[in-house]
A = this chain, B = another copy of it.
Amino acid sequence: MCRSSSRSPGRTGGRPRSAAADAAILEATRAALVELGWSKLTMGDVAGRAGVAKTTLYRRWAGKNELVVDAVAVLFDELELPDRGSLMADIEGVVVQFAALLERPETKTALMAVIAESTRDEPLRERIRTSIVERQKRLVLAGRRRAQARGELPESPASAAGTDDLIFDVIAGAVVHRALVSAEPVDAEWVQRFTALLLGGLSAAART
């Protein structure tokens, strides 16, 4: 996750990295994102908030991009998919959760910024993929399997893996676009209309 994991693993002895400092830095980064946003966030400011020296930050993260990815990634692990009884209810539930997560200023401001930077930074893109994107596909996987167990979707349709990726891009993309680009509220009515659209497409695909 952070630079410390890329140190030579066979080493011994020496003063270990302070885990408390790691936590304080990531927390300070999120706080700074809330107050300052992306462009006005500085490494020196984060260091001051966390009560550590600026050099300590640079010993662990290469720069602002990597630091913010790690600070924000854990927020996405809050997403859950409890069994709400039907595929429709499950989808609506996760959409509402995701929209609420994107409403938080540290999330919305950081997510788009690091994605923008990742278009010119291949290692950063890979970091985002592994730390955020791939981890949350678990939600789609769980939802599909549960719907299959209920009989709402056919067992193992052709090329299920590609379908999971497609569903993920549609759900996450639509919610992000609605919330951040169109800048209109993800309210109950929109969620219901979107879910109905997606569900209609899924059942239509199941029929063929």
Residues of chain B lying within 8 A (CB to CB) of residue A39: 117, 120
Q: State whether A172 touches B177 (Cβ < 8 A).
A: yes
Choose among B38, B166, B177, B181 the residue that contacts A194 (Cβ–Cβ < 8 A).
B166
B-binding segment of A11-19, A42-50, A82-90, A104-112: A104-112
Copies, count: 2
A154 at the interface (CB under 8 A from B): no
Interface size of A in residues (CB-CB distance below 8 Å): 54
Q: State whether B205 touches A200 (Cβ < 8 A).
A: yes
Once A109-B119, A120-B109, A176-B177 are accepted as A-B contacts, the answer to whether A170 and B182 lie under 8 Å apart by CB is: no
What is the minimal beta-carbon distance from A117 to any residue of chain B, in angstroms?
6
Q: State whether A38 touches B117 (Cβ < 8 A).
A: yes
Beyond A113-B113, A176-B181, 10 additional contacts (C-beta under 8 Å) are A112-B112, A113-B116, A118-B180, A169-B181, A170-B173, A172-B173, A172-B181, A174-B174, A177-B177, A200-B201
5 contacts across the A-B interface (CB closer than 8 A): A112-B119, A113-B117, A197-B198, A200-B203, A200-B205
